[in-house]
Structure 1
């Protein structure tokens, strides 16, 4: 193929038929991707330009193709003539292929026929095998039944009990021989029973899913007879082993019971033979088979009974508990703790002491409940592993035993008792108790009852640990009830209205006791009380203990918020009495209105202003306030009294000055109308000045009285304002008295 001439420009350089960004050679690449090619160009080439360039390139390719066909036209036309024999060749190839297809179809049909026959043969073989298996099982069943019947017939020939011989020859040399013979016979019989039991277990496996077969139905009576005889013989041998404490015979019998999956029978026999007679001797009830009648009716207390029962378990039941829990014995399927001992104890209590479960007597109920928990813990001590403990607690009788103790009703009764006692104490007036112990820090019966109620909730004689969340809630409710009672009373005292008569009628001195008790309670809740509670909850997680601490602290915070309110009420009561004497300020104006005399000493009312506060401070109850509380009371009272003093004195001065100013203007107007001179009146001391002079003498005495009770008057803002109001100009800069 001849090379295509390349167009050149005027200077002989080739003319580019396409832009520099368009490379037709990229289309010939084996990994050419149109989408990738367009994506790489569209960022700087518009799609319309790209489409135009592609169409131009397509036109160029079509033109080149036509040129090539025209150039090699002879070869192009001769291309069809070279394929003239292609049809014959195809026909020759088609014939062998058709023959091969027919052979394959025939082979496939033969294989399908063989497969059907093979499947049919396999089904017949499976049916034959099943029939053979069934026949073998039937034969095995027949052999096992025959073997069991043969072994069962040997049972009566084995000596089972030589107790009579033992009793009759205790003092002879043959006694030991008789005892050894009796033990040997029991062991022999127990071994034979264990063997029969294993065969019966194998028999149950054989007939497990074939009970509807006629062959099995025909043998049903033989199987039942053998089973009944085995049960009776096994029961007799097990009971004799228990009576003679023959561990070998008991071990073999237990293995036999385990083999036939009849553990409940062994547990029931042990309960009936060993446990029941001894429990009935401890807890007598009507219908019990006791050798001696119980003349007196015992109380519902269980602690002593449990002690005797635990001694009995340790003495008479330990052997079988250890035997059934021994390693590699296969006897772990038995649960004598629950189904023999605990079941009999529960039955005896229900029949002999039903009142022990009654929460109507909370103290006795709690004592019995805790004794029962200790007894269960004692029984769990015989469980060798944690898994055994879990299995013991999952037994039905364990749940039934725990269900007898209605702790919810017990808590309800305790709730009514504790909350009712506190409510009763909150109905009376607040008075300090006359006779109290030296260690008793609280003064009011309400506060004492609150602390006693809270301690009762967490005492060993009341608290049930499994319901400690309810007792915590009760404690918080008691705190809330006391806080509500106190806050309601304080609000009624402040507003002089409400239902809290104790707070309205109580003298101010009694609120010292209230303040003292609240302070002591707050200290108790953050000290000994919370320490006792957290000690009881020491087995709980740190998160639980922290939540309990926070809840009690939050409840006591309500009391903390009431301390300033109590202090304010005492201050208001003192101030209210002190303000009554300030009403005498009005007499100062009347005294100096129509006289020219000047004040020379303080007014008598000044000494009475602080008298209520001094009386309060001299009272015996002040000993129950802390130094900080006393200082706050003293400074708060002094400040509020001074505020009232300043308000009334400033009102008096301003009113007098205003009246005097009005009279002065009227007087000057009248003098101007008559032409009189006002020089004489200007030299007189005004009424306002005389009142200020008297008030200045009064506040100096008042300041000395404040200093007498430990208050620096100059530190009170209202006193400084009062000094500025009435003091002469030359003395206003320094407060001195």
Structure 2
């Protein structure tokens, strides 16, 4: 019994058989009906190594073979008896084959019958379809023939219009098929002919439809000459009838003719007839095309007067047709007589008779003509019954071509050179140029500033500005302001750095006096105020049709330029202060003469101030009390200049005095050492001069008296000397020891 037990599989340390299959290997997957080997392998290869997968499959194959062998061994008796149980299999097969063969033959015969019936049915349907198509073509050809014949007959039946257009009552002949033997006046003949022409046009429209569906057919090709002849006769008759109706202002006939033109899709023909018959003679009376006609026409390139006459003619001679074509529910909206008749003739007349009107070489005349042309277009748009009609009018080819004639870009370039060139020329001079305004502080004082303001205003004058280019003129205005600001800042920087010749146009500061800078400061204040008020209001009023966002941007840009100018005011003020200090320092340099006065002399202590002190503040006082300062400077500005100049002058005074005192003391110390050494060598006492007043004391006393007088002079012009830190330091530098803490004069 021990030999019959299957061998036990070795187990691992966890108690599982070593040959146990992994969890990812599912044997049940092979038994599924929709099992796909490629999909199964692709799914497992994403997380199972190929070698492991192959070894598992090989193990499973071995397992299956082993199991199959076991099954055969277990049921070997039944397996052997399987062949013995198959008795008379061949006979059974023969018995089953006969009915199956008979069934196959019947099915084959039935299929053949069905196929023949289907082929016959399809053939019949195809013949029926061909017959239907042939019938349609035949009917189309017959209809075409009938329409052509009908058109030819109707054309022959057209009544003749009277040859004398001035004769209103015309008697038709009895042979006229439309008169029926009755006397018909001219108006009835026009209306009758227009009605018949509209009918012919509708038939021609049908004929075009038939021809479009019967192209390349011999019958149609043979009838092509008849069709073209009929079309030509219709066009000629319709043109004559329309001209006659226009000249007699027959509203009914005009309406019928326009419907006929619309029916044959020949709107250009009607527009051209109206242009050549009505519009062209009128326009050529106003704007002649040739030199012989110009003898009785207007001269020059001005268009405003011509446009007024043209508008009068349109009201008088063209309004009736425009009202007919734009009437509601008329179906005549396909015509555009405004663009393709009136505006086209106006454009041709200007191009031939007054080509110089489009030339921007004369900017003022060009702008007047351009604005007059916009007025004419606005007048023509007034005849449009709706906004959509206005939009359609503006997209017409003639309208676009008319607007292209006005080269606004070249016009702006010429204006740019004119306006910017004037300012640039004014700023390139080597000195500022005051103008006489008779002491009026409400006006600009420098030619450069006046030129700037005139240039800015020129950009927005009615005879310069083009609203469609308002963005360009705004940019030009900002460039002008920037150019002026640069001129000021570069000049101030050049004066401060002493390199005026390095930048063209910046050397004006070299010859400028402090009084000249009064003009500069006044003009800057005036310009800043003008930019933020009247000038800005004028621009915003001109651009009132723009959105609020655009207006805000315009306002911000102009105010920013005004701020840039205002930011230069401190620099201008400092330049004025530096110029005043330079004049005052010239008198302060006399302070060095005090040393020569008391050095190696026996002069007593000074009792009064030096003469130079009175001249130190004289340039500042003269400047502030002058006519220019009192006229053009505000009281606040004068105070700022006074305090700033006084502070800087005092700084210079303190620096010079401190240097003088230090040098004097060092010199006296050196002399005392030399004197004491000589006296010791001579055997004399070294304290002989100790009782005398030293030269340094005399010099300091003189400086102290001068500083007191300088303080009184400061007080005289309105400056508290004690409030200036440099003056307190100066006082402490030269005052006696007992007066160091108290400043009094």
Paired with 1:437 and 1:456, the residues of 2 have a C-alpha distance of 26
Alpha carbons of structure 1 residues 129 and 160: separation in structure 2 relative to 1, 3 Å: farther
- Equivalent of residue 205 in structure 1, options 200, 203, 209: 209
Deviation at 1:69, TM superposition (A): 7.1
Residue 639 of structure 1, aligned match among 643, 647, 667: 647
1:421 counterpart residue number: 422
Aligned match of 1:572? 578
Report if aligned partners of 2:283, 2:349 keep a CA contact under 8 Å in 1.
yes
Q: Deviations over 1:386-441 (max 9, x none)?
A: 32222211222112211222222222222222223223333554343224796952
Farther off after superposition, 398-407 or 87-96 = 87-96
Equivalent residue in structure 2 for 1:550, among 541, 544, 556: 556
Partner of 1:364: 365
Task: Decide whether the 8 Å contact of 2:140 with 2:214 is kept in 1.
Answer: no
Q: Which residue pairs with 2:608 in the alignment?
A: 601
Query: In 2, distance between residues paired with 1:307 and 1:197?
Result: 39
With over 3 angstroms needed to count, the CA separation of the structure-2 counterparts of 1:101 and 1:580, relative to structure 1, is: farther
Q: Which moved more, 1:82-91 or 1:525-534?
A: 82-91
Q: Answer yes or no: is 1:538 the counterpart of 2:538.
A: no
Distance 1:685 1:405 in 2: 94
State the shift of 1:514 in Å: 1.1
Aligned to 2:41: none
Q: Aligned pair 1:265/2:269, yes or no?
A: yes
Structure 2 matches for 1:324-363, cutoff 5 A? 324-363=325-364
Cα distance in 1 for residues equivalent to 2:192 and 2:441: 75
* Alignment RMSD: 3.9
Tell me whether 200-209 or 643-652 shows the greater mean CA deviation: 200-209
Query: Partners of 1:385 and 1:644 in 2: how far apart?
Result: 81
In structure 2, how many angstroms separate the alpha carbons of the residues matched to 1:80 and 1:723?
A: 143
| Structure 1 position 506 matched with structure 2 position 512 | yes
* Cα distance between partner residues in 1 of 2:239 and 2:665: 120
> Which stretch shifts more, 589-598 or 249-258?
589-598
CA distance in 2, matches of 1:582, 1:437: 34
| Distance change >3 Å, CA 83–CA 455, structure 1 → 2 | farther
Structure-to-structure mapping, 1:217-366, within 5 angstroms = 217-286=221-290, 295=296, 297-366=298-367
Corresponding residue of 2:487: 485
1:727 to 710, 714, 735: 735
Greater mean alpha carbon deviation, residues 231-240 or residues 93-102? 93-102
Provide closer, same or farther for how the CA distance between residues 735 and 98 of structure 1 changes in structure 2, counting only shifts above 3 A.
farther
Secondary structure of the residue aligned to 1:646 is helix
How far off is 1:613 after superposition?
A: 0.5
| 1:207 shift after superposition | 1.4
How far has the Cα of 1:299 moved from its partner?
3.5
Please give the secondary structure, in 2, of the residue aligned with 1:383.
coil
* Aligned mates of 1:687, 1:112 — CA distance in 2: 149
* Distance verdict in 2 for CA 1:100–1:440, change over 3 Å: farther
Within 2, Cα distance between the matches of 1:445 and 1:419?
Answer: 15
Q: In the TM superposition, what are the counterparts of 1:70-469 in structure 2 within 5 Å? A: 78=78, 81=81, 122-156=125-159, 163-164=166-167, 166=169, 181-208=185-212, 210-286=214-290, 295=296, 297-428=298-429, 429-435=431-437, 441-469=443-471
In the alignment, which residue of structure 2 is the partner of 1:172? none
- Tell me, yes or no, if structure 1 residue 586 matches structure 2 residue 592: yes
After superposition, the Cα gap between the structure-2 partners of 1:243 and 1:383, relative to the gap in structure 1 and judged at 3 Å, is: same
* Structure 1 portions without partners, runs of 5+: 1-15, 34-46, 169-177
Distance 1:511 1:411, change over 3 A: same
Query: What's the secondary structure of 2:302's corresponding residue?
Result: coil
Superimposed CA distance per residue, residues 70-107 of structure 1 (whole angstroms, 9 cap, x where no aligned partner): 9x986675467468658959969996889888877887
Q: Is the 8 A contact 1:161 1:182 kept in 2?
A: no
Does the CA-based 8 Å contact 1:69-1:76 persist in structure 2?
Answer: no
Q: CA deviation at 1:24?
A: 11
Task: Name the CA shift for 1:370/1:31 in 2 (closer, same or farther; >3 Å).
Answer: same
Match of 2:623 in 1: 616
Q: How many residues align?
A: 688
Counterpart position of 2:638: 630
Q: Quick check: 1:187–1:248 contact (8 Å CA) kept in 2?
A: yes
Shift of 1:297: 4.1
Contact 2:459-2:477 at 8 Å conserved across structures? yes
Normalising by structure 2, report the TM-score.
0.82
Q: Distance in 1 between matches of 2:439 and 2:514?
A: 25
Equivalent residues of 2:434, 2:519 under 8 A apart: yes
Say whether the 8 Å CA contact 1:160–1:189 is kept in structure 2: no
* Cα distance change, pair 661–120 in 1 and its aligned pair in 2 (3 A): farther
- How far 1:266 moved relative to its partner? 0.9
TM-superposed deviation, 1:682: 2.3
Structure 2 CA distance, aligned partners of 1:132 and 1:724?
Answer: 130
Change (3 A) 1:575 1:108: farther
Matches of 1:437 and 1:674, distance apart in 2? 77
Aligned-pair CA distance for 1:155: 0.7
Query: What's the TM-score once normalised by structure 1's chain length?
Result: 0.83
Q: Which ranges in structure 2 are unaligned for 5 or more consecutive residues?
A: 1-13, 33-47, 172-181
Distance 1:74 1:610, change over 3 A: closer
Secondary structure in 2 aligned to 1:599?
coil
In structure 1, what is the Cα distance between the partners aligned to 2:95 and 2:727? 133
CA contact (8 A) 1:158 1:188 kept: no
Q: Secondary structure at the match of 1:509?
A: helix
**C-alpha spacing 1:539/1:77, structure 2 compared with 1 (3 Å):** farther
**1:131 Cα offset (Å):** 2.4
- Residues 23 and 264 (structure 1 numbering): CA distance in 2 closer, same or farther, change over 3 Å? closer
Instruction: Provide Cα deviations, 1:365-404, integer angstroms capped at 9, x if missing partner.
Output: 1111101101101111222223222221122211221122
Give yes or no for contact 1:145–1:203 (8 Å, CA) kept in 2: yes
Worse-matched range after superposition: 588-597 or 136-145 = 588-597
Deviation at 1:536, TM superposition (A): 1.8
8 Å contact kept, 1:263–1:334: yes
Cα pair 1:493 1:504 within 8 Å, conserved: yes
SS in 2 for 1:318: helix
Instruction: Label 1:523 to 1:79 Cα distance change in 2 as closer, same or farther (>3 A).
Output: farther
> Residues 207 and 348 from structure 1, CA distance in 2 versus in 1: closer, same or farther, beyond 3 angstroms?
same
Q: Distance in 2 between matches of 1:683 and 1:423?
A: 73
Q: Deviations over 1:439-474 (max 9, x none)?
A: 952111211111011101111110011122222232
Q: 1:689 to 1:30 in 2, by over 3 A?
A: farther
The CA distance in 2 between the partners of 1:423 and 1:332, in whole Å, is 55
Aligned 8 A contact 2:491 2:500 in 1: no
Q: Report the 3-state secondary structure (helix = DSSP H, G, I; strand = E; otherwise coil) of the residue aligned with 1:208.
A: helix
CA displacement 1:633-676 (0-9 Å, x = unmatched): 21221121111111111111111111112222333334444443
Question: Which residue is 2:706 aligned to?
Answer: 698
